């Protein structure tokens, strides 16, 4: 029996199966359904079903939301933009940059 106060403290991440967690991480790292399927030796359709299930459980609508949640949970590092110098506060980027 699940107690209401315990359910409140449980993050939806805890509701994911280990396979869904693995696929979550692979997608958050920029992988595709096809690349995750090849890596896990599964069909792309199976990965699609796991991905749809985890997106539903986590109430996510896009891969961007999935990636942001993965960063928030500390599962992946926030990608850095290489080769660019940050602009000073209040500066505008030149056209075409």
What integer is the mean pLDDT of 58-66? 91
Q: How confident is the model at residue 57 (pLDDT cuts 50, 70, 90)?
A: very high
| Residue pair 75/25 in contact by the 8 Å Cβ criterion | yes
Cα–Cα distance list, 51 to 5, 44, 68, 83 (Å) = 28, 10, 16, 33
Model's pTM, two decimal places?
0.68
- What pLDDT band is residue 2 in, cutting at 50, 70 and 90? very low
Q: Which two tokens stand for residue 75?
A: 């599962």
Does residue 27 carry a pLDDT above 60? yes
* Res 82: pLDDT: 59
**pLDDT at 14 (0 to 100):** 87
What span, in angstroms and rounded, lies between the C-alpha atoms of 59 and 12? 9
- DSSP-derived letter for residue 38 is H
């Amino acid at each position: 029996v699940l107690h209401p106060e315990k359910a409140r403290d449980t993050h939806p991440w805890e509701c994911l199966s280990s396979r869904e967690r693995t696929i979550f991480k692979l997608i958050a790292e920029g992988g595709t359904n096809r690349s995750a399927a090849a890596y896990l030796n599964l069909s792309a359709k199976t990965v699609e079903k796991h991905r749809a299930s985890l997106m539903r459980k986590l109430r996510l609508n896009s891969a961007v939301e999935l990636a942001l949640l993965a960063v928030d949970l500390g599962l992946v590092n926030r990608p850095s933009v290489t080769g660019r110098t940050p602009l000073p506060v209040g500066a505008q980027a030149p056209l075409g940059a």
